[in-house]
Chains A and B, each alone.
Chain A
Amino acid sequence: MGRGRAPALRTTAPPAHERWRPVTVSHSSQPQAKPTIVLVGHGMVGQRFLEALAAEGVTARARVVVLCEEPRPAYDRVQLTSYFSGVTPEQLSMTDEAFLAEHGVELHLGDPAETVDRAARTVTARSGRTFRYDTLVLATGSYPFVPPVPGRDSAGCFVYRTIEDLLAIEEFAKDATSGVVVGGGLLGLEAAGALKGLGVRAHIVEFNARLMALQVDDGGGSALRRKIEDMGLTVHTGVGGKEITANADGAVTGMVLSDGSTLDTDMVIFSAGVRPRDQLARDCGLEVGERGGVVVDARCRTSDPAVYAIGECAKAVDGMVYGLVAPGYEMAEAAAAAIAGTAAGEGFTGADTSTKLKLLGVDVASFGDAHGTAEGCLDVIYADSRAGVYKKLVIAPDGALLGGVLVGDADAYGLLRPLTGSVPPVAPESLVLPAGAGAPAQLGPSALPDDAVVCSCHNVTKGTIRAAVTEHRCGTVPEVKTCTKAGTGCGSCVKVLGQLVDAELTAQGIEVDPGLCACFGQTRQELYEIVLALRLTSFQQLLDGHGRPEARGGEGCEVCKPAVASIIASLAPTIGAGAYVLDGEQAALQDTNDHHLANLQRNGSYSIVPRVPGGEISPEKLIVIGQVARDFGLYTKITGGQRIDLFGARVDQLPQIWARLVDAGFESGHAYGKALRTVKSCVGQTWCRYGVQDSVKMAIDLELRYRGLRAPHKLKSAVSGCQRECAEAQSKDFGVIATAGGWNLYVGGNGGATPRHGDLLAQDLSDAELVRLIDRFLMFYIRTADRLERTSVWLERIEGGLDHVRDVVVHDSLGICAELEAMMAEHVAGYRDEWAETLADPERLRRFVSFVNAPDAPDPSVRFVPERDQNKPDLDILAGPDLPVRTLEGAPLS
């Protein structure tokens, strides 16, 4: 996952070998041997500690042993619940073999540390193996608190902490109809949402008077409660569990609450908070806090200088035991720096516990002094119960922003959190009022000081982000993400990141113009909306009515013409533009490939790709392709998309070639268009002994459904008949993998120069569900993507990313799914083969001549010479280019 790489932007430090001063690891009795660091626990914080050790160069000089209780290496526990929306345990993993191997880390899975002998400096694991250490690091995390309710050991009682817990819950829920979650905090709500997703009626029992009592206040709690109840979850607050009843087999039957009422239930999930796992430290006599947690100093050293403790098991110098990952990461870095001998600054003295979450689709954020505990502080509250929005800011007497709570709409979080502690440059109420309701001034991220932490997950300041743009020449949000790690955690700061990048580029005199080109100030998405709303079918109308003033009345340009042509083609049935989009004015907008329905090659000839749906082709059709290729002297090559490409056709030969292909039952493969290309497939269940579904049939169905669909960029797809994934569906814009229960749909995959694995959008879909979801996904992409933006880039760029797209196309959060489906239905109904339509119309055939004044003369510059039994372009006939070939940027292609 590349997480082992050191962030590119670090304050300059001497090279690792000069920094290595093994002060704290020099206790080895064998001076020649490498010092040994033993890490107990391999969770998120443990993994971050290993990465920090590697970045400090320590792993090169020390033996590193890791004892891990769980059967799998570190995974993203924060995203644990995403397992229920289809993310696999493998995808949650935060490390890989390569990282461990590269840094020589010895990882022992399923073998927790059981005893520590500090005098002998040894750790003994459950397996009985004993490891000598020079430095011991405890990262044992925490355990779920299970209140002492009678019956809590009955079958059907669970905690919600590990992947193994979730697997057990999933299995048990198959036979359950009702479940109770004890605890209405973050995890409890997630667990209740997961139960609901598993088809189990869910109750939430919260001892406090409101949900998420730690993070939000009463007002926020009620807004949240309404939203949660709207989803069909039942909330009981101000009550606790008194007893769990069980049947004769010891299986849960119900829960008696503290108010005497009873809930019938088949299962109970305890999610009532966590406690630090400090038993190992207690047993070996390390100092432990009164309410738990291994006491550490700012360098994360325990009362024994050879032992460190980091993360949720540690009690920090400010007396806090932090249950959040960001402080854990900071502690991991502090301990690694101390061990490396490079510790500088104050170390870890405390952390910001601000959070922004999307809980069951509801935005919830709290930051700073959310409960208004500071003396003399005042609240500014905006509440709209109807919309389920609640916002509160806590303001100090001097006007400084101290903290706040946002429920239902947390857009302002990205700006408010970094402003905490300072006096905002505008009136506080303007920060929480909805736009247009008297908000006087737009507060931009320019108001933030350089030391404001914009990304709290990775502790990245505004100054670091600015430096990424100015010094490291990052010009886009994805580049800044790679360079600084900002925005790669929870993602809540991505919007502010975009504003900062734009502001910095502007400050450098680099004009940030979101417009499509010199002719239009709008983005592609805005032009799409204009064309749709006004039912515009004319480029000139669009340019003269909506173009930049200086471009009106002009010709447009090579950027906007094909982009608008594509928009009109995508919307053709809806706006009444007609299915054949190459006539009249439209003809002038198309790139030569679309104009000639073939792909222009370097010598001025074209290549031809007939559609071969799903890659399935009969011997008769293969023979026809062979005959046509032979008769016209075409070079033939099998493509990566399971089709056959025929190269070397002159423009005047295209209709003759296609007449024969259409006669044989072929149709356009749209290899020339920003459109659906192929849906690749493996042979699937029909032939393959591993196949679980008919992948070929599904691929053919999908290809025939979406053929001819014009999009912002080309679209590729594939269908694999089993998890072996022979069709490489995860590298496609939309890829389908068969499961025993149906189909899994992946989106946003890409091959090419920047490969990206597709994200799982939904799983175990029926045929109809799959098609409906792809309909929505494609139409939403076409509607909102930028020009020439593949789905992979679009998914990375679009605010909210995959979660947002899933909300829109799976949960219909924008209420547009019916419209998206209707538009796709119109496309499918209106599809005509462009080549058959072209051949049927002499007027349309007129463009297929080499010379307007000599229609029968072939172009003498298109000539071929033999190579390996086929033809290749004779480039000498072109007399050679008289200039070096250049890219658009002007740099010669070497």
Chain B
Amino acid sequence: MTDVLTPNAPAATTTATGTARVEVRTGGVWAAVCAVDHLVPGRGVAALLPDGGQIALFLDRTGTVHAIGNRDPFTGAYVLSRGLLGSVDGAPFVASPLLKQRFDLASGHCLDDDTVTVPAYATRVR
């Protein structure tokens, strides 16, 4: 269910015509989610997908948007969007707000348990 990973494009935060939108590739199509200025650098938000699934969107300090599944596989709660963003060796991750396991934002791999991965989604801002 993970989309093919493409390098996430840095966001142009606004365009001449107004606020740029964040899009996430899911089910083979790009879905518009929200205006990029709804994201706070260094934090995440949750978004509802058309199929009822939940994703967590993050904006890092370089302006890049990342998307992974919102469900924390260790507890079953839909809370990853509320974790703290960090980076290790330049690679951004989110730490689950419940039991603090870290997930790489590009791949969805859990940095604290090799056997665990959450879905990761390609994003773009346009």
Residues of A whose CB lies within 8 Å of any CB of B are: 518-519, 540, 550-551, 553-558, 561-562, 585, 587-589, 591-592, 595-596, 600, 602-604, 846-847, 850-854, 857, 859-861, 875, 878-883, 885-888, 890
Scoring B46, B52, B74 by chain A CB atoms within 10 A of each residue's CB, the highest score goes to B46
Which residue of chain A has its CB nearest to the CB of B45?
Answer: A852
Q: Kindly state whether residue B89 has any CB partner on chain A within 8 Å.
A: yes
Contact A879/B41 with A561-B86, A851-B46, A888-B99 known, Cβ cut-off 8 Å:
no
Q: Is the CB of A588 within 8 A of B99?
A: no
What residues on A are CB-neighbors of B108 within 8 Å? none
Distance, CA A890 to CA B88, complexed state (A): 19
Q: Is the CB of B97 within 8 A of A591?
A: yes
Give the complex CA separation of A795 and B41 in angstroms: 38
Beta-carbon contact of B76 and A853 below 8 Å: no
Q: Would you call A587 and B57 a contact (CB within 8 A)?
A: no
Interface residues of B in 81-125 (CB under 8 A from A): 82-90, 92, 95, 97-102, 112-113, 116
A851-B46, A857-B48 known; A558 and B83 CB under 8 Å? Answer: yes
Query: Which B residues lie within 8 Å of A588 (CB)?
Result: 40-43, 85
- Per the bound structure, the CA–CA distance linking A879 and B100 in Å amounts to 20
**Count the B residues whose beta carbon is within 8 Å of the partner chain — how many?**
45
Question: Across the interface, which residues of B come within 8 angstroms of A883, CB to CB?
Answer: 73-74, 113, 116
How far, in Å, is A366 (CB) from chain B's closest CB? 51
Give me 27 A-to-B residue pairs in the complex whose CB atoms sit less than 8 angstroms apart, sorted by A's number: A540-B61, A554-B86, A554-B90, A555-B86, A555-B92, A556-B87, A557-B86, A558-B83, A558-B86, A587-B43, A588-B85, A589-B42, A591-B84, A592-B79, A596-B82, A600-B79, A600-B98, A847-B40, A850-B46, A852-B46, A853-B47, A860-B52, A878-B75, A878-B76, A881-B76, A882-B76, A885-B99
Q: Are A592 and B97 in contact (CB under 8 A)?
A: yes
B63 to A: closest C-beta gap in Å: 12
Best-buried of B41, B60, B113 by chain A (most CB within 10 Å): B41
Knowing that A558-B100, A600-B97 touch, tell me 15 more A-B residue pairs with CB under 8 angstroms: A518-B88, A540-B61, A554-B87, A554-B88, A587-B40, A589-B42, A591-B97, A595-B43, A602-B77, A603-B77, A851-B45, A861-B78, A878-B75, A885-B99, A888-B100
Q: Which residues of B contact A846 (CB under 8 A)?
A: 38
Q: Give chain B nearest CB distance to A185 CB in angstroms.
A: 56
Which residues of the other chain, B, contact A587 by a CB distance below 8 angstroms?
Answer: 40, 42-43
Q: How far is the CB of A528 from chain B (nearest CB, A)?
A: 20
CB neighbours (8 Å) of B42 from chain A are 555, 561, 585, 587-589
The 4 closest A-B pairs by CB, nearest first: A588-B42, A557-B86, A878-B76, A558-B95
Q: Which of A553, A851, A880, A882 contacts B48 (CB 8 A)?
A: A851
Write out the residue numbers on chain A whose beta carbons fall within 8 Å of the beta carbon of B92. Answer: 555
Please give, as numbers and ranges, the residues of chain A lying within 8 Å of B99 by CB-CB distance.
Answer: 885-888
Chain B residues closer than 8 Å to A553, beta-carbon distance: 90
CB-based contact B74/A886 at 8 Å: yes
Contacts of A602 in B (CB 8 A): 75, 77, 98
- Cβ of B34 within 8 Å of any chain A Cβ, yes or no, is yes
Q: 1/0 per position for B12-39, CB-CB distance to A under 8 A? A: 0000000000000000000001100011
Q: Does B8 contact A (CB under 8 A)?
A: no
B2 within 8 A of A: no
A561 pairs with B84, CB closer than 8 A: yes
The answer to whether A885 and B74 touch across the interface, beta carbons within 8 angstroms, is yes
Distance A782 CA – B21 CA, assembled complex (angstroms): 43
Q: How far is the CA of A860 from the CA of B71 in the complex (A)?
A: 12
Please report the C-alpha to C-alpha distance between residue A857 and residue B47 in the assembled complex, in whole angstroms.
10
**Residues of A close to B86: CB separation below 8 A:** 519, 554-558, 561
Q: Roughly how many angstroms separate A846 CA and B80 CA in the complex, as a whole number?
A: 18
The answer to whether B34 and A852 touch across the interface, beta carbons within 8 angstroms, is: yes
Instruction: Name the residue on B nearest A876 (C-beta).
Output: B76
Q: A860's closest neighbor in chain B, by CB? A: B52
Taking A587-B43, A888-B100 as contacts, is the C-beta distance between A861 and B77 under 8 angstroms?
A: yes
Q: Compute how far the CA of A854 lies from the CA of B54 in the bound complex, rounded to whole angstroms.
A: 11
With a cutoff of 8 Å between Cβ atoms, the chain A residues found around residue B77 in the complex are 602-604, 861, 878
Asked if A557 and B87 sit within 8 Å, CB to CB, the answer is: yes
Q: Tell me how far the C-beta of B7 lies from the nearest C-beta in chain A, rounded to whole angstroms.
A: 18
In Å, the complex CA distance between A888 and B45 comes to 24
- CB neighbours (8 Å) of A519 from chain B are 86
In Å, the complex CA distance between A589 and B88 comes to: 16
Closest beta carbon of chain A to B46's beta carbon, Å = 5
**CA A883 to CA B74, docked complex, whole Å:** 5
**By the criterion CB–CB under 8 Å, are A604 and B79 in contact?**
yes
What CA separation (Å) do A604 and B82 show in the bound complex?
Answer: 9
- When chains A and B are docked, how far (Å) is the Cα of A589 from the Cα of B39? 14
Residues of A within 8 A of B95 (CB): 557-558
Instruction: Provide the residues of chain B in CB contact with A857, threshold 8 Å.
Output: 48
Residues of B within 8 A of A854 (CB): 47-48
Q: Complex Cα distance A851/B38, Å?
A: 11
Q: How distant is the Cα of A890 from the Cα of B40 in the complex, in angstroms?
A: 31
A558, B93: Cα distance in complex, Å: 10
How far apart are B44's CB and chain A's nearest CB, in angstroms?
9
A852 to B113, CA, bound (A): 29
Residues on the A chain within 8 Å of B90, using CB: 553-554
A853 touches B48 (CB 8 A): yes
B85 contacts which chain A residues (CB < 8 A)? Answer: 555, 588
A850 contact set on B, CB distance < 8 A: 46
Are the C-beta atoms of A852 and B47 separated by less than 8 Å?
yes
Asked if B87 and A851 make an inter-chain contact with CB atoms under 8 angstroms apart, the answer reads: no
Query: Cα distance A890–B100 when bound, in Å?
Result: 11
- Chain B: CB-nearest residue to A879: B76
A452 to chain B, nearest CB (A): 42
Roughly how many angstroms separate A851 CA and B97 CA in the complex, as a whole number? 17
- Identify B41's interface contact among A554, A562, A585, A882, CB under 8 A: A585
A890 smallest CB distance to B (angstroms): 7
**A519–B93 CA distance with the chains assembled, in angstroms:** 14
Which residue of chain B has the shortest Cβ distance to A861 in the bound complex? Answer: B78
Taking a contact as CB atoms under 8 Å apart, the answer to whether B98 and A557 are in contact is no
Cβ-defined partner of B112 (8 Å) among A875, A879, A890: A890
Q: How far is the CA of A588 from the CA of B73 in the complex (A)?
A: 23
> What's the Cα separation between A851 and B78 when bound, in Å?
11
Distance in angstroms from B68 CB to nearest chain A CB is 15
Chain A residues near B40: list those with CB within 8 A. 587-588, 847
Residues of A within 8 Å of B45, CB to CB, are: 851-852
Interface centre among B54, B79, B95, B100 (most CB of A within 10 A): B79
- Minimum distance in angstroms from B38 CB to a CB of chain A: 5
Query: From residue B27, how far is it (CB to closest CB) to chain A in Å?
Result: 16
A852 touches B101 (CB 8 A): no
Within the complex, the shortest CB–CB distance from B31 to chain A, in Å, comes to: 9
CA distance A604 to B70 in the complex (A): 11
Task: Give the residues in chain B near A861, CB-CB below 8 Å.
Answer: 54, 77-78
- Does B61 lie within 8 Å of A555, measured CB to CB? yes
Are the CB atoms of A851 and B75 closer together than 8 Å?
A: no
Q: How far is the CA of A595 from the CA of B99 in the complex (A)?
A: 17
